[in-house]
């Protein structure tokens, strides 16, 4: 189905003007994916969806844009509705102080330090309690994403299954915070994580693994014409006279933008190239601007001579274009949940140099579709980038294999099927639903890599 909408495109020139143009945006239907995934895969989705016809599912998270969770839900929820599941999506409302605290929680869950004061605990809980007074839930299953809305379950009469979907790295959480959050996690029927290394043996709640995925038909990932790619890249002020090394990410300490800058300085000694930070700011991340300012100050001389460019990736089409015009995509993260920026790069047939943290090693095979490095190995990171820049044939082969890896393992259709399986399992027997045998703890099918 197609609908006409007004979109806003900002042109840069001597003066800034807002240009209105009509764009035809596709409303997602599973039929649209037939040219990308097999008919067998689509048939299996419809088979699982039949048992959920009319069931109501509510997703709750803390932001509608910026970051992988919002992007996943913006595709997953419409597709759920398309196949007959009545899916809804609510956004937790919170004050700036609340999001400062939950950002500290996010950092602490990934191993950072935290002074967990009574005030922090109270504001965290009270914000969720306040939201519950006007977020009325009428669903057969509730899926709560990440720590921000985690306490909500405490403020409802629990009549349906609740799932906590945690997208962050839980491998070495701050113990004080973890014990506090477990107070709420224990109330959930299921904890869904992104990879085996996040499984917590000390948690007496069933845990299952579901790998995140990208939507190949979203504005960020759909095919673009060469004309459109050049148009958006030029409007962003990115020259294409030399190879581009690009990191697409939020401005976040865990994405290590300053460490990437140091690696780039090593690369420049071997190859004349340019570094692009294509960054975004999530509304629930109050630290982003500070990280941006520190990185910009350190890169100022390189920015002034045009070797480093900062581009605000608030437009999905712009991010798509920048990724496609880049020679190599990088992700120098210290910690990661799964990192869909790597998935996006592989889908666009680009070689990726990244760190071996979180879910990245599930996507990259060393020297096959990219390179994996220790987060602290700046010299090695630079060396692999140089190797790709100096070997275009190798880069092309890596790109082809990377796209096939994503096609087989990390597309939204596979994620949709995983959720349908989960929902069939947790809602079986409710309102006359059919029976369903227990699923294995790892819901996701075994990964298949292109060789």
CATH class of 30-213+411-426: alpha beta
By the 10 Å C-beta count (0-12 exposed, 13-18 middle, 19+ buried), 130 is classed as middle
Q: What's the pLDDT at 410?
A: 98
Judged by phi (left if over 0) then psi (alpha if -120 to 50, else beta), residue 256 lies in left
For residue 55, what are its two tokens? 């069931």
Element (H, E) at 370: strand 370-373
Largest CA distance in the chain: 67
Q: Cite the beta strand spans of 214-360 per DSSP E.
A: 244-250, 274-280, 308-312, 328-331, 352-355
Which one-letter DSSP state was computed for residue 152?
G
d(Cα 81, Cα 88) in Å, to the nearest integer?
9
Per-residue pLDDT in tens (0 to 9) along the chain, 451 residues: 333 333 333 333 323 233 233 334 557 899 999 999 999 999 999 999 999 999 999 999 999 887 789 999 999 999 999 999 999 999 999 999 999 999 999 999 999 999 999 999 999 999 999 999 999 999 999 999 999 999 999 999 999 999 999 999 999 999 999 999 999 999 999 999 999 999 999 999 999 999 999 999 999 999 999 999 999 999 999 999 999 999 999 899 999 999 999 999 999 999 999 999 999 876 667 888 999 999 999 999 999 999 999 999 889 999 999 999 999 999 999 999 999 999 999 999 999 999 999 999 999 999 999 999 999 999 999 999 999 999 999 999 999 999 999 999 999 999 999 999 999 999 985 543 333 333 345 656 667 666 5
Start-end of CATH 3.40.50.2000 domains in the chain: 30-213+411-426, 226-409
Q: Look at residue 277 and give its three-state secondary structure.
A: strand
Q: Say yes or no: domain 226-409 is CATH 3.40.50.2000.
A: yes
C-alpha distance from residue 208 to each of 150, 177, 354, 443 (Å):
17, 22, 26, 6
Exposure of 229 in the CB half-sphere (CA atoms within 13 A): 15
Q: For residue 96, give every residue at least 6 positions away whose Cβ sits within 8 Å of its Cβ, in sequence order, or none.
A: 286
Q: What's the pLDDT at 444?
A: 65
């Amino acid at each position: 189905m197609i609908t006409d909408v007004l979109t806003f495109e900002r042109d840069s020139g001597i003066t800034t003007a807002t240009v209105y143009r009509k764009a035809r945006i596709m409303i997602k239907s599973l039929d649209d994916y037939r040219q990308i995934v097999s008919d067998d895969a689509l048939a299996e989705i419809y088979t699982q969806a039949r048992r959920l016809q009319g069931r109501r599912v509510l997703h709750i998270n803390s932001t509608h844009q910026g970051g992988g969770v919002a992007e996943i839900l913006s595709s997953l929820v419409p597709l759920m509705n398309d196949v007959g599941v009545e899916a809804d999506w609510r956004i937790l409302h919170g004050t700036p102080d609340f999001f400062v605290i939950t950002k500290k929680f996010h950092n602490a869950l990934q191993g950072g330090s935290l002074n967990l004061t009574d005030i922090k605990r109270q504001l965290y809980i009270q914000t969720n309690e306040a939201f519950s007074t006007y977020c009325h839930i009428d669903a057969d299953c509730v899926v709560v994403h990440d720590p921000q809305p985690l306490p909500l379950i405490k403020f409802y009469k629990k009549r349906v299954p609740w799932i906590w979907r945690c997208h962050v790295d839980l491998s070495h959480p701050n113990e004080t915070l973890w014990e506090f959050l477990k107070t709420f996690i224990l109330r959930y029927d299921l904890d869904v994580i992104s990879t085996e290394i996040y499984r917590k043996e000390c948690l007496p709640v069933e845990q299952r693994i579901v790998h995140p995925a990208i939507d190949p038909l979203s504005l960020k990932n759909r095919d673009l014409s060469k004309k459109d790619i050049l148009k958006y890249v030029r409007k962003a002020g990115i020259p294409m006279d030399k190879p581009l090394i690009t990191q697409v990410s939020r401005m976040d300490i865990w994405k290590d933008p300053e460490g990437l800058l140091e690696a780039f300085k090593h690369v420049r000694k071997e190859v004349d190239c340019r570094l692009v930070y294509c960054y975004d700011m999530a509304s629930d991340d109050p630290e982003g601007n500070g990280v941006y300012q520190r990185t910009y100050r350190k890169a100022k001389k390189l920015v002034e001579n045009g070797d480093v460019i900062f581009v605000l990736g608030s437009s999905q089409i712009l991010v798509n274009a920048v990724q496609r015009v880049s020679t190599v995509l990088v992700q120098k993260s210290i910690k990661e949940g799964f990192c869909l920026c790597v998935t996006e790069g592989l889908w666009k047939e680009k070689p990726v140099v990244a760190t071996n943290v979180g879910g990245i090693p599930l996507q990259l095979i060393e020297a096959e579709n990219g390179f994996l490095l220790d987060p602290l190995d700046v010299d090695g990171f630079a060396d692999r980038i140089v190797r790709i820049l100096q070997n275009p044939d190798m880069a092309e082969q890596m790109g082809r294999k990377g796209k096939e890896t994503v096609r087989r393992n990390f597309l939204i259709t596979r994620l949709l099927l995983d959720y349908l399986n989960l929902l069939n399992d947790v809602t079986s027997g409710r309102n006359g639903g059919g029976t369903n045998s227990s699923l294995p703890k790892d819901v996701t099918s075994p990964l298949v890599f292109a060789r």
